[in-house]
């Protein structure tokens, strides 16, 4: 097992340490690990156990994260290390996020960057598990990636401390922050073992303050997490604190892990959620996990022209002008970066 001294921890009496990476702020006794199981106190020093060990790596379209308004069409090298600070009973990556053993293939930061370049990626995405809890690995990789001209993105549950956000923000270009059940605190407690959702909102404000491009997802779970009132409140919060141009992706639940008896969300419920969010004044609301649905497209908020047409992870028609304006009415569409085209077939896994 490789050890790498952790970032962001405090020393306490009796060789205890407090980890300040995620909002759990675990106080860890000598010899014990934190809630995520991948950070261990040895003799009053906190170590990361998953540094440089990838449990999954592969090339993905950026749309899979999802990021729809950031370097559209780009390819990213996706990297994950073992562990998570949540215990979601529906996790579709539970084989790697909930592992008790710190497995993984040696994939040091220099190799991640080299591999991204060799595979014609424009960026690196820290994803599949929770990047907050492999911060040391993401931090070193992200710094090298920047030097090599690559961008960095997180796919995160957002349960980061403000210190963690400030640490990674100088190297982080974009973040997809995933909510479940529109942030219902009872759902988070009972289904994901998360005591409070407030830290996620604080982390989002900090990401915004630090200029990171943000897209929000929300998993709509039948019955227990499909309240339109809560979706309305979440859309309003996004509009008020992150701005009306923040892309909001409503994701259809599908049965997985310990929740295989809960059916996939009814498409009509998804459409109701879409309308509810749009009526709060958000300009770019998308439905995810329903390939072929018209709500995968981007529409001009001014004249309603379908300006980017998509099918699942692919862009099938791009109508914006070079300076990202609607070709019909000239309305400026907020897209960060540039449009990329690739002949590669994706996604494909390295391991």
Question: Can you tell me whether residue 258 is helix, strand or coil?
Answer: coil
**Candidate residues 10, 15, 17, 39; the one interacting with ligand SF4 per rule CB under 6 A:** 39
Of 177, 190, 192, 277, whose CA–CA distance to 227 is shortest?
A: 277
235 near ligand SF4 (CB under 6 A): no
**Candidate residues 17, 36, 262, 326; the one interacting with ligand SF4 per rule CB under 6 A:** 36
- Residue range at the interface with ligand SF4 (CB under 6 A); choices 17-25, 267-275, 291-299, 341-349: 17-25
258 near ligand SF4 (CB under 6 A): no
Of 10, 6, 94, whose CA–CA distance to 51 is shortest?
A: 6
- Given a contact cutoff of 8 angstroms between Cβ atoms, the answer to whether 200 and 165 are in contact is no
24 near ligand SF4 (CB under 6 A): yes
**Overall residue count recorded for the chain in this entry:** 351
- Given a contact cutoff of 8 angstroms between Cβ atoms, the answer to whether 214 and 208 are in contact is yes
Q: Binders of ligand SF4: how many residues, by CB under 6 A?
A: 12
326 near ligand SF4 (CB under 6 A): no
**Candidate residues 17, 21, 221, 274; the one interacting with ligand SF4 per rule CB under 6 A:** 21
- Given a contact cutoff of 8 angstroms between Cβ atoms, the answer to whether 161 and 129 are in contact is no
Interatomic CA distance for residues 172 and 151, integer angstroms = 7
Half-sphere exposure of 248 (CA within 13 A, CB side): 31
Interatomic CA distance for residues 323 and 305, integer angstroms = 17
Q: How far is the CB of 81 from ligand SF4 (least distance, A)?
A: 12
**Candidate residues 48, 78, 85, 115; the one interacting with ligand SF4 per rule CB under 6 A:** 85
- Residue range at the interface with ligand SF4 (CB under 6 A); choices 28-36, 106-114, 282-290, 335-343: 28-36
Q: Which is nearer to ligand SF4, 30 or 245 (CB)?
A: 30
**Candidate residues 4, 12, 16, 25; the one interacting with ligand SF4 per rule CB under 6 A:** 25
Interatomic CA distance for residues 114 and 95, integer angstroms = 27
Helix (H) or strand (E) run with residue 144 in it: helix 135-147
Q: Which is nearer to ligand SF4, 140 or 215 (CB)?
A: 140
102 near ligand SF4 (CB under 6 A): no
Q: Which residues bind ligand SF4 (CB under 6 A)?
A: 19, 21-22, 24-26, 34-36, 39, 85, 133
């Amino acid at each position: 097992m490789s050890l790498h001294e952790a970032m962001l921890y405090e020393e306490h009496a009796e060789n205890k340490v407090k980890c300040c990476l995620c909002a759990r702020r675990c106080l860890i006794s000598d010899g014990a690990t934190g809630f995520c199981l991948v950070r261990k106190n040895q003799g009053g020093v906190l170590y990361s156990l998953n540094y440089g060990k990838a449990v999954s790596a592969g090339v993905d379209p950026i749309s899979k994260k999802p990021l729809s308004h950031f370097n559209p069409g780009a390819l990213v090298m996706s990297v994950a290390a073992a562990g998570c600070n949540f215990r979601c009973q529906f996790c579709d990556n539970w084989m790697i996020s909930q592992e008790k053993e710190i497995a993984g293939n040696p994939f040091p930061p220099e190799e991640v960057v080299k591999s991204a370049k060799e595979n014609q990626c424009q960026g690196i995405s820290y994803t599949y598990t929770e990047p907050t809890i492999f911060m040391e690995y993401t931090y070193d990789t992200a710094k090298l990636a920047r030097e090599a001209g690559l961008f960095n993105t997180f796919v995160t549950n957002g349960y980061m401390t403000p210190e963690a956000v400030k640490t990674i923000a100088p190297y982080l270009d974009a973040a997809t922050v995933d909510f479940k059940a529109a942030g219902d605190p009872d759902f988070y407690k009972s289904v994901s073992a998360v005591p409070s959702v407030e830290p996620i909102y604080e982390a989002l404000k900090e990401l915004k303050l630090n200029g990171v491009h943000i897209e929000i997802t929300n998993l709509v779970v039948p019955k227990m997490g499909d309240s339109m009132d809560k979706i309305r409140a979440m859309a309003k919060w996004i509009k008020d604190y992150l701005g009306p141009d923040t892309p909001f992706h409503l994701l259809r639940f599908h049965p997985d892990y310990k929740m295989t008896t809960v059916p996939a969300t009814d498409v009509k419920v998804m459409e109701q959620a879409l309308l509810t969010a749009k009526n709060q004044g958000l300009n770019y609301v998308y439905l995810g996990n329903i390939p072929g649905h018209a709500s995968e497209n981007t529409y001009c908020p001014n004249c309603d022209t379908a300006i980017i047409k998509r099918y699942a992870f692919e862009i099938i028609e791009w109508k914006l002008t070079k300076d990202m304006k609607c070709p019909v009415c000239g309305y400026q569409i907020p897209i960060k970066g540039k449009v990329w085209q690739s002949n590669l077939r994706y996604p494909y896994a390295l391991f």
